[in-house]
Amino acid sequence: MRRVITYGTFDTLHHGHIRLLRRARELGDYLIVALSTDEFNASKGKSALFSYEERKADLEALRMVDLVIPERTWDQKVTDVRLYHADVFTMGDDWTGKFDFLKDQCEVTYFKRTPSISSTQIRNAMTMNIAAE
């Protein structure tokens, strides 16, 4: 069995996320998604519109996702790759090169981002709509 692991916040789940997850799953037989916890996001100075539990439930509802685990720190990637026997690590190409240190443990693949969509754009549009009401 070929296992693939990816990481993210996956707030305001959108078609760009779905495409990334679909492409990740196509690289193997089992897809693990490490989902940033609310505490980890806070440590990065970020916050999600939806809680960790809500985001986790959304990811678990997707048929291409086999397992959702918490991402609590930047440093856990090396441990996760070993613990979950990941053959492939993948991220969006906005992270190109940042995780090449994992290449001695598994294949590292960066996917091109889906143009014209991002969680930031969605949050900004939601905020503008709320402010206009």
Q: How far apart are CA 25 and CA 67, in angstroms?
A: 12
Please report, to the nearest 10 degrees, the dihedral formed by the alpha carbons of residues 116, 77, 66, 55 taken in order.
-50
**100 neighbors 66 (Cβ within 8 angstroms):** no
Exactly one of 44, 98, 103, 112 is catalytic; name it: 44
Q: Among this protein's residues, is 44 annotated catalytic?
A: yes
Q: Which two tokens stand for residue 38?
A: 């609310």
Q: DSSP secondary-structure letter at 28?
A: S
C-alpha distances (whole Å) from 40 to each of 48, 50, 61, 66, 70 are: 11, 14, 23, 22, 9
Q: Among this protein's residues, is 103 annotated catalytic?
A: no
Q: How far apart are CA 62 and CA 25, in angstroms?
A: 11
Compute the radius of gyration of the chain from its Cα atoms. 15
Show which residues are catalytic.
44, 46
